[in-house]
A and B are shown apart, each in its own frame.
Chain A
Amino acid sequence: MKVSCEKEKLNNLIQTALRAVSARVTMPILSGVLLSAQNNTLSVCGTDLELTIKASSEARVEKEGSAVASGKLIGEIVKNLPEGDIQIESEEKTLTISSDPGVFSIKIMSPEDFPAVPDWEGEEAFTVSAREFQTAVSQTSRASSNDDKRPVLTGSLVEKNAKDGKIRIVATDSYRLAWKEFEATGNVAAWEDCIIPTKSLVEVARIASGHEADIQARIHERQAMFKVENSTVRSRLIEGQFPQYRQLVPKGEKIVVRGVKGDLVAAIKRALILGHNLRLSIGDGSLTIRAETPDIGESSETISVEVQGGEMEVGFNGFYLVDGISAVEGEEVEIGLDDPQKPGIIKAPDDQSYTYILMPMRLR
């Protein structure tokens, strides 16, 4: 293999592929990235077996071929090289990376040992704008769980509504649940509802950031596949049953609080300084947020809001509350409450596409 590529482009390829390379690997080959040069294209691929990312770009290919080298090393080298053309050449046992002043030779591993690289296969399913997808992932991913003991909750449910041509992403950690629905084009009916690791969706959104392009998605052999311009992401699916979440949605809340998003978030963040179990007292046209930590101190702040329905005192984890409210698009937020022991619902007024459902905390 002999190929040359501009530094900035090459660096992007490698950094993108490295997102899938884990710091601690079970097999040495997984610490490497696969470089392949073919048809005037250079592609770099990294994987941890769950998530595989292949990034490609045009390059001057003098000799086709492939090689696997330590992702960490090649990443460091390329990142630190000066602007300009970088030439990569593989020999039997080494990979030589040279730019004008310097030459680096590093050991390579056998490309045959590298896991299969994703090809863009399978039946066409939906296509969504990168911006739309990114918004949906950022609105939902924080509600996802990090607890490996409940693997299903570390993923997001991606389900179709073929009738309306819509896709919904749902995430929950069992204390809160968020969903976002967006318009999709293409053959939405071909999508199979599945649970995709939230980490994979975040990576797809990250790769798409800065692109105006579309994201194409499909399922192939029980793997989710995404394509953003020249990058392909393949993710394993999480097996298991996602919680039956539709029944949680309160059917008409007793109390509806409507306020300015920025004011609410700022007040909650201030309260969080003195404790994260917040006590919310909803009165006539006002919301009082109290925090208290024994031996440390307490705080209380009242902001004016629009209240329909009556009075209530309810406890919430302040961090969860901030996550839910700040993800609302637009200036206004609506909080629906039914009972201090039943879920509250956060959304933008007159917009059903984003919904955040949060369980209260028991007050003492």
Chain B
Amino acid sequence: MAEKHFKSAGNLEKAKFPGQPRRVFLHTDMDAFFVSVERLLDPSLRKKPVIVTGGPSRRGVVSSASYEAREKGVRSAMPLVRALRLCPEATIIPGNFAAYARYSNLVMEILHEYTPFVEQAGIDEAYLDLTGCRLLFGNPAEVARRIRQRIREELGLPSSAGLSSAMIVSKVASALAKPNGFIEVPPGAEASFLAPLPVDALPGVGPSCRLILAEMGIRKIGELALLPPEALEAVLGSWGRTLHEYSRGIDRRRIESSEMPGSVSREMTFESDTFEYEFLRSVLLLLCDKCCAALRKGALASRRVSVKVRYSDFDTRIKSRTLPCPTDREQNIYPVALELLERLLTRGVRVRLLGVNLSALVPYSAQYELFPRTSPSGDPEKIDRLNRSLDLIRKRFGFEAIMRAGALNSARGEKTRKPPVPEPKMPNDRCQAAAM
């Protein structure tokens, strides 16, 4: 029985912000998603150690490993050679990403039946704001149970979930609940739930950030929470302040309704920090491409482009530009984004993250033009036809089925999603601690 509940002290039940409903966030995450899909397609793989290798550019790397393989020490992002040394009996499957994208869409469809406030955070995970759902569907924990049950019964896929008042806490909880589990952190117990966990259980804390914190003598989230926020800000920049809030279970992020989001953004943290311009340019194109595909999917157009760069010292800078007219074409967005990137890259410090954000969204509408354009981006009618065709191909075969040549270079550098926190032994005193 993997369902776990943390009891909270009753006096902490009071809302922190009187007058506002306390928010309830669910984070759902598929268990070994790629492997689970492969097992649906080929049931003979069940109960066997299975390793799915990476996309077109990551043939030699583990993308997803079944829990049987994980028991032997195999982890995501591990070189295949090493994984096979640890688990020689594993079945190796080259990733069938179109199938994963298809199943991902089916999962998201189920989630959208419960609330429009769904934020997809990856191919296999999403946040849901269930705050307003109590009247419609009842107790959020019950909704979570029902969602996981439907994903299991209708699609045959296992998933885990975390439920709390903050997105960050729900995310950590769902990772901790894996495999096939559910953790609810009641209001008021967020900080005590996080406190005993290692700092890198927090999303956003990767090896280099962990190293910086270790040098300060900080290994547990609870230790992080005790630091003055200024100290973290001094070392990690503005991200330090956010991280400090996270460590105390505070997360100011909200989920915009997916029906009319305020902005569309995509970002990539690199395998290793870089200042290789060609690579960054390629990643930028990929991100613009992905953002615009998302815009077109929602029949939206954007009038504001922002580019975010996070340097290896966590200094984060953003530059934005307003466009003369709204667009959903990467052919129009990318040149602007590139100019912004060039203006951002002034520090001569390696970059660890690059992001693109499109805001000032308006419903898409096509303004016909009087004269066919002779500009480098070409005839807009043709571009729209091209983009619509790309969207159709990607809908059937997955995003990576067809790529802009300029974006191919980007594929080598993305950091694989952090492997889930190792399945912890759940000693009873953890529950006690959380209840304090």
Give A contacts to B, CB under 8 Å.
145-147, 149-150, 172, 174-177, 243-245, 248, 275, 277, 293-295, 315, 317, 341, 343, 357, 359-362, 364
**Residues B347-396 near A (CB distance < 8 A):** 363, 365-371, 373, 375
A315-B370 contact in complex given A147-B324, A149-B375, A294-B260, C-beta closer than 8 Å:
no
Q: CA A217 – CA B149 in complex, angstroms?
A: 80
- The smallest beta-carbon distance between B343 and chain A, in angstroms, is 16
A174-B373 contact in complex given A293-B363, A294-B259, A294-B363, C-beta closer than 8 Å:
yes
For residue B369, which residues in chain A have a CB less than 8 angstroms away from its CB?
174-175, 359
Prevailing SS type, chain A contact patch: loop
Q: CA A146 – CA B324 in complex, angstroms?
A: 8
CB pair A317–B367 under 8 Å, yes or no, is yes
A362-B368 contact in complex given A277-B363, A294-B259, C-beta closer than 8 Å:
yes
Q: CA A34 – CA B330 in complex, angstroms?
A: 47
For residue A294, which residues in chain B have a CB less than 8 angstroms away from its CB?
259-260, 363
Q: Which 3 A-B pairs have the closest CB atoms?
A: A362-B366, A359-B368, A277-B365
For residue A174, which residues in chain B have a CB less than 8 angstroms away from its CB?
369-371, 373
CB pair A341–B375 under 8 Å, yes or no, is no
CB contact between B370 and one of A149, A275, A277, A359 (< 8 Å): that residue: A359
Additional A-B contact list (18), CB under 8 Å, known A362-B368, A364-B365: A145-B324, A147-B324, A174-B370, A175-B369, A175-B370, A243-B371, A248-B371, A275-B363, A293-B363, A294-B363, A295-B257, A317-B367, A341-B368, A343-B370, A359-B367, A361-B366, A361-B367, A361-B368
Q: CA A315 – CA B373 in complex, angstroms?
A: 21
For residue A343, which residues in chain B have a CB less than 8 angstroms away from its CB?
370
- The smallest beta-carbon distance between A194 and chain B, in angstroms, is 19
CB pair A248–B370 under 8 Å, yes or no, is yes
For residue B260, which residues in chain A have a CB less than 8 angstroms away from its CB?
294-295
For residue B365, which residues in chain A have a CB less than 8 angstroms away from its CB?
277, 315, 361-362, 364
- The smallest beta-carbon distance between B374 and chain A, in angstroms, is 9
For residue B363, which residues in chain A have a CB less than 8 angstroms away from its CB?
275, 277, 293-294
User: Could you say which interface size class chain B belongs to?
Assistant: 10 to 19
- The smallest beta-carbon distance between B413 and chain A, in angstroms, is 30
For residue A277, which residues in chain B have a CB less than 8 angstroms away from its CB?
363, 365
**Residues B317-336 near A (CB distance < 8 A):** 324
**Would you mind naming 19 contact pairs between A and B with Cβ atoms under 8 Å apart?**
A149-B375, A150-B375, A172-B370, A174-B371, A174-B373, A175-B367, A175-B368, A175-B369, A176-B370, A177-B370, A243-B370, A243-B371, A248-B370, A277-B365, A293-B363, A357-B370, A359-B368, A361-B368, A362-B365
For residue B370, which residues in chain A have a CB less than 8 angstroms away from its CB?
172, 174-177, 243, 245, 248, 343, 357, 359
**Residues B26-51 near A (CB distance < 8 A):** none
Q: CA A260 – CA B367 in complex, angstroms?
A: 26
Q: CA A265 – CA B43 in complex, angstroms?
A: 67
Q: CA A175 – CA B365 in complex, angstroms?
A: 13
Q: CA A294 – CA B258 in complex, angstroms?
A: 12
Q: CA A262 – CA B375 in complex, angstroms?
A: 38
Closest A residue to B336 by beta carbon equals A149
- The smallest beta-carbon distance between B384 and chain A, in angstroms, is 9
- The smallest beta-carbon distance between B380 and chain A, in angstroms, is 10
Interface centre among A146, A149, A244, A343 (most CB of B within 10 A): A149
Closest B residue to A315 by beta carbon equals B365
Interface centre among B324, B371, B375 (most CB of A within 10 A): B371
Closest B residue to A243 by beta carbon equals B371
A360-B368 contact in complex given A149-B375, A277-B363, A294-B363, C-beta closer than 8 Å:
yes
- The smallest beta-carbon distance between A199 and chain B, in angstroms, is 16
Q: CA A20 – CA B371 in complex, angstroms?
A: 32
For residue A295, which residues in chain B have a CB less than 8 angstroms away from its CB?
257, 259-260
- The smallest beta-carbon distance between B88 and chain A, in angstroms, is 55
- The smallest beta-carbon distance between B367 and chain A, in angstroms, is 5
Over the window 181-205 of chain B, the binary record of Cβ atoms lying under 8 Å from chain A Cβ atoms (1 yes, 0 no) is 0000000000000000000000000
For residue B324, which residues in chain A have a CB less than 8 angstroms away from its CB?
145-147
Closest B residue to A320 by beta carbon equals B367
Interface centre among B260, B363, B368, B375 (most CB of A within 10 A): B368
For residue B299, which residues in chain A have a CB less than 8 angstroms away from its CB?
364
Closest B residue to A275 by beta carbon equals B363
For residue A357, which residues in chain B have a CB less than 8 angstroms away from its CB?
370
Q: CA A275 – CA B363 in complex, angstroms?
A: 9
- The smallest beta-carbon distance between B297 and chain A, in angstroms, is 15
For residue B257, which residues in chain A have a CB less than 8 angstroms away from its CB?
295
Closest A residue to B377 by beta carbon equals A149
Q: CA A243 – CA B371 in complex, angstroms?
A: 7
Q: CA A354 – CA B71 in complex, angstroms?
A: 79
Closest A residue to B364 by beta carbon equals A364
For residue B259, which residues in chain A have a CB less than 8 angstroms away from its CB?
294-295
Q: CA A275 – CA B324 in complex, angstroms?
A: 17
Q: CA A172 – CA B369 in complex, angstroms?
A: 11
Q: CA A293 – CA B299 in complex, angstroms?
A: 12
For residue B371, which residues in chain A have a CB less than 8 angstroms away from its CB?
174, 243-244, 248
Q: CA A298 – CA B297 in complex, angstroms?
A: 22
For residue A244, which residues in chain B have a CB less than 8 angstroms away from its CB?
371
- The smallest beta-carbon distance between A364 and chain B, in angstroms, is 8
Interface centre among B259, B367, B369 (most CB of A within 10 A): B367
Q: CA A150 – CA B257 in complex, angstroms?
A: 37
Closest A residue to B373 by beta carbon equals A174
Closest B residue to A149 by beta carbon equals B375
Closest B residue to A363 by beta carbon equals B365
- The smallest beta-carbon distance between B330 and chain A, in angstroms, is 16
- The smallest beta-carbon distance between B107 and chain A, in angstroms, is 25
Q: CA A243 – CA B324 in complex, angstroms?
A: 20
For residue A293, which residues in chain B have a CB less than 8 angstroms away from its CB?
363
For residue B367, which residues in chain A have a CB less than 8 angstroms away from its CB?
175, 317, 359, 361-362
Closest B residue to A362 by beta carbon equals B366
- The smallest beta-carbon distance between B429 and chain A, in angstroms, is 48
- The smallest beta-carbon distance between A363 and chain B, in angstroms, is 8
Interface centre among B257, B299, B370, B375 (most CB of A within 10 A): B370
Closest B residue to A358 by beta carbon equals B370
Closest B residue to A292 by beta carbon equals B363
Q: CA A9 – CA B387 in complex, angstroms?
A: 60
- The smallest beta-carbon distance between A175 and chain B, in angstroms, is 5
Interface centre among A150, A174, A175, A315 (most CB of B within 10 A): A174
For residue A317, which residues in chain B have a CB less than 8 angstroms away from its CB?
367
Q: CA A22 – CA B343 in complex, angstroms?
A: 23
Q: CA A3 – CA B230 in complex, angstroms?
A: 61
Closest A residue to B299 by beta carbon equals A364
- The smallest beta-carbon distance between A36 and chain B, in angstroms, is 40
- The smallest beta-carbon distance between A187 and chain B, in angstroms, is 32
Closest B residue to A146 by beta carbon equals B324
Closest A residue to B371 by beta carbon equals A243
Closest A residue to B380 by beta carbon equals A174
Closest B residue to A247 by beta carbon equals B371
Q: CA A122 – CA B52 in complex, angstroms?
A: 78
Q: CA A229 – CA B368 in complex, angstroms?
A: 43
- The smallest beta-carbon distance between B99 and chain A, in angstroms, is 32
For residue A359, which residues in chain B have a CB less than 8 angstroms away from its CB?
367-370
- The smallest beta-carbon distance between B369 and chain A, in angstroms, is 5
For residue B368, which residues in chain A have a CB less than 8 angstroms away from its CB?
175, 341, 359-362
